[in-house]
Amino acid sequence: MRWLGAFEAELLAVMRVVVGFLFACHGAQKVFGVFGGLDERGAAAPLLSLLGVGGLIELLAGVLVAVGLFSRYAAFIASGQMAVAYFMAHQPQGVLPITNGGELAALYGFVFLYLAARGRGRLTLAAALGRPDLG
């Protein structure tokens, strides 16, 4: 599959954009109540709550990762947030992510940890602005 390696930069960019966008959508659910994110009272999560702060992190980190600005920092913070979410909300429900509903938290956590270690790649807004230091 060496031919696929020729597209490494493009595939990293696609993964970063898709993962960041989907993560930002989770944040938008909590912060704005869109995409089915309203509670039983028809309200979004209060911003000064654990869920609200988590939503802000998801929204901002998702956007930053998707566009490639400060993405290592954003991915590292998002990875930590997913670890906290997993161990606070999911792990008490069972040992394995498949049985405790924590698959997304575990998957996002490790993808963001990889992106924090790997970096954003070449195809980013920071690179387009000629400011690789912003990546």
d(CA 121, CA 113): 15
Mean pLDDT (the chain, rounded): 91
Alpha carbon distances (Å) from 8 to 3, 5, 12, 83, 129: 10, 5, 6, 28, 22
Task: Report whether 16 contacts 68 (CB < 8 A).
Answer: yes
45-86 tens-digit pLDDT: 778 888 889 999 999 999 999 999 999 999 999 999 999 999
What is the extent of the structural domain holding 14? 2-134
How many domains are there within the chain?
Answer: 1
